[in-house]
Structure 1
Amino acid sequence: MSQTTEMDPTLSALAASLGGRLIRPGDADWDTVRAPWNRAVEQDPAAVAIPATVDGLRQIVAAARAGRFEIAVQPNGHGASGDVRGCILVRTSAFDEVTVNADERYARIGAGVKWGAVLPRLTGTGLIALAGTNPDVTVAGYLLSGGHSWFSRWKGLAAHSIRAIEFVEAHGRSRRLDSAHGSAEGDAELLWAMRGAAGMLGIVTALEIDLYPAPALFGGKILFPIEAAGAVLDAVAAIMATAPDELTMFAGLINMPDVEMVPEPMRGHSFATVDVVFVGDADTAGTLLAPLLSAVPVIANLMQPFDIGHLGEVAAEPSDPVGSLDWNAAIRGLGDDGFAPLIEAFREATPAGLTMVQLRPLGGAIADPAPDATGIVGHLESKYLVFAGAILLDPSRRIDPAAVFGPIDRALTGMTERRMVPTLLSPGQDLSAALPPESLARLGKVKFAHDPDSLFRSNRRLPG
């Protein structure tokens, strides 16, 4: 499908009737509403729709069909790829329901709700949800593209925690898929696809997700001298080789920006970091982490018991929109030189603008193939996920992605695999960088069966 003109009469009619807002080029707040969270991504949709109700979504679908527009959904702009030219871009911020049923261990969450509004509601229940690192991300956007959680080694990728999905399909009908109750023929296949690729199959309005008992949580961030990077990474690898699934550690190398938002003692300096989340008590965590804490001097140890409402403080990622470039890979292991090539690549890329490199050890439930039957985001046999990023705090500075990420890419030559959680793909990558060919072929059949005219355009598209 393709748009016709900027002042398309279909859009004019939709603007007059929509229960909500339709913003178009030339409107006063156009640049604000069309912008994604990652300010380095430029988006040029035909219009931005902010519906207030499900009926409004049906109107959008009808208008898109009549005017031959595609629809792209971004609850608040995380994960944007920039590939929305000519689309009606839908923001689902008005769908803000949050209901927690602690007795039956599930939550019902609207498509516009961020993790930061959900996790505090779980405080005191003894339950957790499979949230990620940043509380500013919407629950729907995160779960429906896979979801690599702090708790995924323990309970699996977050998409598999979805019990039910409510959405508007390509013909404007409201649907509910519920794994706990009987469904029509083909619904199981559609639910399989939506657990990881929902953006190309409909406009989700609400989810119901499983919650899990976790009576105690412990963790936080640890900072080490950058000179100790090798010892830190070696210690993390050794611990995670035998760690219980309840323990997650993300190890990183970071160049702190020389800006006011960074505390003075850290500003403009480089560190090795380890972020820790453990489902259990402080004493058990202390025993597990002793080899790391005794390996090298610690600059700062922020670990402590915490409740689920403070999960976002562990990684302490930016919550305000910012420009960034990123790179990712899954690797099956390391070469004979261990982490040394990666550390050297970090040093080489720093002058070019590299901000950070992070390793996320996998294993545990992430490697279990059992959930593959119920969700397109299958198990990962890789040993680590590796991320590199450059935060663009100075708009006047030009950064060459090849100079920033080339050293990292070369350091991992021969170790990478074409598997990833779609949530973590970079702008411009399609689903072939995350999913195996057989899953892509199966997804293509589901897409053709439920959206044969390709009304919905996902941030992560099928190849070709």
Structure 2
Amino acid sequence: MTFTSHHESAFDELAELLDGTVIRPGQATWDEARAAWNLAIDQQPAAVVTPNHVEDIGHILKAAHATGLDVSVQPRGHGANGDLAGCILLRPTAFDEVTIHVEERYARVGAGVLWGTFLPSLEGTGLIALAGTNPDVSVAGYLLSGGHSWFSRWKGLAAHSIRAVELVDASGELRRVTAESDPELLWALRGGGGLFGVVTTLEIDLFEAPDLFGGKIIFPGVTAEAVFELADAVIRTAPDELSLLLGLINMPDAPFVPEPMRGQTFASVDVVFVGSAAAGAALLAPLVNGIPPVANMTRPFTIGQLGEVAAEPTDPSGAIDWSATLTDASGSVLADVAAGFRAATPAGLTLLTLRPLGGAIARSDRDATAVVGHLDAQYTVFAAAIIMDPTAALDPDALFEPLDEAVAGRTVQLTVPTFLTHGQGLADAYGEADLARLAEIKRRVDPHDVIRSNRGLPA
């Protein structure tokens, strides 16, 4: 899109009206303001705006209508999926409310709040929220996109915990969406992402979990096949309160890596268990007794320490990624996936994760209340090449073809939108009936298609 004096005039007026900020190309902070968390994605919006309150959002939407631009919301930049051409990028960081209602077991969480900020507020309450692995992700972005939580086998996909959504719709109207006020829109917001308005606040369910146990268990990389087999056997018979994340990682030969680990490959099993340390350790005994770990960091922990379990990076980096949903993990499937990782290592593949599903995730009674519904599969698989050298040319075919071959005939084109990779949209997560229903709701609440989500509907 070519920007004219009309656009510039509209942004000048918007900057005068806003209590928040408007940052445009050419300003000193432009590159920092527009950046996605995945630095390999080059976002080039028309402007980056940071509203301070609901009235600011109304002004932003009016400017979008006046200029013919879209509005896209990114609290932190996770899930970015395009260049944002012709778009105003809205950062809701000022919406930072955190209110815990302990007796009623729910919380109000602003759209700019990160999990790493929110979870410590639950310390001492005996309550948990359905958080994922990375504390740098926003609560709202994660929940609206479905959310596979550490606690999802126990309590279901995280979007189901949304009780109410407060948003400014495309017309500038502030709405409070509940199962009573607009059940169709709430169904869509529970997994439909940022398609339907600018979310300011969520109300979410909290759950009693006085005892938590878990951590990372690290094994030599050469034992990955055996580790995956034993971990799979554990999770198949374990109670739903146990969640595992299986992994393989090629550590770079770089100064920031501890010297004994440089250039080495490690397998891992990350663990979260809702229950006592004794019960959790007993569940893991077949794994840690079957293959001696390099390190076993499992321990009792509190909800504010949840991000330490997977210990994922919280600083932005560049990456090329891939994912799949496995419907069949029997026989040699997990071993084949590990072998595919090794085959792709020379091409630059960095990491692989497998998340066991089942439990409450597979319960079809959730379909009526959330588009994310249930997922009748056994594992989600994710792989990525972290771009250490921006000048290096990575070949996606060489990176991911061995994994494509490993899972061929064993996958389904359904997933949780939080697992979608670059270039994918909601058509890669949901079936045709759900996509049609989402499109109808989108036409009702945003008839001029002003709100642009990271994960769009098919044209």
Indicate the TM-score class for this superposition, using the shorter chain for normalisation. Answer: over 0.9
Aligned 8 A contact 1:3 1:68 in 2: no
Aligned 8 A contact 1:3 1:46 in 2: no
Secondary structure at the aligned position of 1:319 is classed as coil
Aligned 8 A contact 1:4 1:67 in 2: no
Kindly provide the CA deviation profile for residues 182-209 of structure 1, in whole angstroms up to 9, marking residues without a partner as x. Answer: 42xxx11011111111411100000010
Match of 1:226 in 2: 221
Secondary structure at the aligned position of 2:259 is classed as coil
Secondary structure at the aligned position of 2:36 is classed as coil
Kindly provide the CA deviation profile for residues 386-414 of structure 1, in whole angstroms up to 9, marking residues without a partner as x. Answer: 11111112222221111111111111111
Task: Work out the CA distance in 1 between the residues paired with 2:65 and 2:312.
Answer: 39
C-alpha displacement at 1:264, in angstroms?
2.3
Q: Could you tell me which amino acid in structure 2 is paired with residue 329 of structure 1?
A: A
Task: Work out the CA distance in 1 between the residues paired with 2:258 and 2:154.
Answer: 34
Kindly provide the CA deviation profile for residues 231-284 of structure 1, in whole angstroms up to 9, marking residues without a partner as x. Answer: 100001111111100000111111112223322222221011000000001111
Aligned 8 A contact 1:105 1:212 in 2: yes
Aligned 8 A contact 1:153 1:366 in 2: yes
C-alpha displacement at 1:447, in angstroms?
0.5
Q: Could you tell me which amino acid in structure 1 is paired with residue 90 of structure 2?
A: V
- Using a 3 Å threshold, how does the CA distance of structure 1 residues 173 and 134 change in structure 2: closer, same or farther? same
Q: Could you tell me which amino acid in structure 2 is paired with residue 413 of structure 1?
A: A
Aligned 8 A contact 2:50 2:92 in 1: yes
Task: Work out the CA distance in 2 between the residues paired with 1:234 and 1:5.
Answer: 60
Q: Could you tell me which amino acid in structure 1 is paired with residue 236 of structure 2?
A: A
C-alpha displacement at 1:336, in angstroms?
4.3
Match of 2:110 in 1: 110
Kindly provide the CA deviation profile for residues 358-406 of structure 1, in whole angstroms up to 9, marking residues without a partner as x. Answer: 1111000000011111111110001100111111122222211111111
Instruction: Describe how 1:250-265 pairs up with structure 2 within 5 A.
Output: 250-265=245-260
Q: Could you tell me which amino acid in structure 1 is paired with residue 335 of structure 2?
A: A
TM-score, reference length from structure 2: 0.98
Aligned 8 A contact 1:23 1:30 in 2: yes
Secondary structure at the aligned position of 2:260 is classed as coil
Give unmatched runs, 5+ long, in structure 2: none
Instruction: Describe how 1:45-84 pairs up with structure 2 within 5 A.
Output: 45-84=45-84
Task: Work out the CA distance in 1 between the residues paired with 2:127 and 2:331.
Answer: 42
Kindly provide the CA deviation profile for residues 305-364 of structure 1, in whole angstroms up to 9, marking residues without a partner as x. Answer: 000000000000000111111100101013643333222211110011101111111000
2:203 aligned with 1:204: no
Aligned 8 A contact 2:18 2:59 in 1: yes
Match of 1:422 in 2: 417
Secondary structure at the aligned position of 2:66 is classed as helix
Task: Work out the CA distance in 2 between the residues paired with 1:296 and 1:339.
Answer: 17
Task: Work out the CA distance in 2 between the residues paired with 1:307 and 1:20.
Answer: 36
Instruction: Describe how 1:260-275 pairs up with structure 2 within 5 A.
Output: 260-275=255-270
Match of 2:317 in 1: 322
Kindly provide the CA deviation profile for residues 66-122 of structure 1, in whole angstroms up to 9, marking residues without a partner as x. Answer: 111100100111110024111000000010111111111111110000001111111
Instruction: Describe how 1:31-46 pairs up with structure 2 within 5 A.
Output: 31-46=31-46
Match of 1:354 in 2: 349
Give unmatched runs, 5+ long, in structure 1: none
Match of 1:406 in 2: 401
Q: Could you tell me which amino acid in structure 1 is paired with residue 350 of structure 2?
A: T
2:4 aligned with 1:5: yes
Secondary structure at the aligned position of 2:285 is classed as helix
Secondary structure at the aligned position of 1:165 is classed as strand
Aligned 8 A contact 1:3 1:69 in 2: no
Task: Work out the CA distance in 1 between the residues paired with 2:2 and 2:330.
Answer: 50
Instruction: Describe how 1:255-334 pairs up with structure 2 within 5 A.
Output: 255-334=250-329
Task: Work out the CA distance in 1 between the residues paired with 2:451 and 2:398.
Answer: 35
Secondary structure at the aligned position of 1:221 is classed as strand
RMSD between superposed Cα atoms in Å: 1.2
Q: Could you tell me which amino acid in structure 2 is paired with residue 31 of structure 1?
A: D
Structure 1: 4+ residue segments shifted above 6 A: none
Secondary structure at the aligned position of 1:265 is classed as helix
- Using a 3 Å threshold, how does the CA distance of structure 1 residues 249 and 85 change in structure 2: closer, same or farther? same
Task: Work out the CA distance in 2 between the residues paired with 1:259 and 1:211.
Answer: 41
C-alpha displacement at 1:3, in angstroms?
6.8
Task: Work out the CA distance in 2 between the residues paired with 1:263 and 1:310.
Answer: 23
Match of 1:155 in 2: 155
Q: Could you tell me which amino acid in structure 2 is paired with residue 162 of structure 1?
A: I
TM-score, reference length from structure 1: 0.97
Task: Work out the CA distance in 2 between the residues paired with 1:375 and 1:9.
Answer: 41
- Using a 3 Å threshold, how does the CA distance of structure 1 residues 343 and 50 change in structure 2: closer, same or farther? same
Which stretch of the first structure deviates more once superposed, 307-316 or 222-231? 222-231
Task: Work out the CA distance in 1 between the residues paired with 2:332 and 2:128.
Answer: 39
Match of 2:232 in 1: 237
Secondary structure at the aligned position of 1:460 is classed as coil
Secondary structure at the aligned position of 1:79 is classed as coil
Which stretch of the first structure deviates more once superposed, 164-173 or 401-410? 401-410
Aligned 8 A contact 2:108 2:203 in 1: yes
Task: Work out the CA distance in 1 between the residues paired with 2:287 and 2:346.
Answer: 29
Match of 2:100 in 1: 100
Task: Work out the CA distance in 1 between the residues paired with 2:391 and 2:260.
Answer: 26
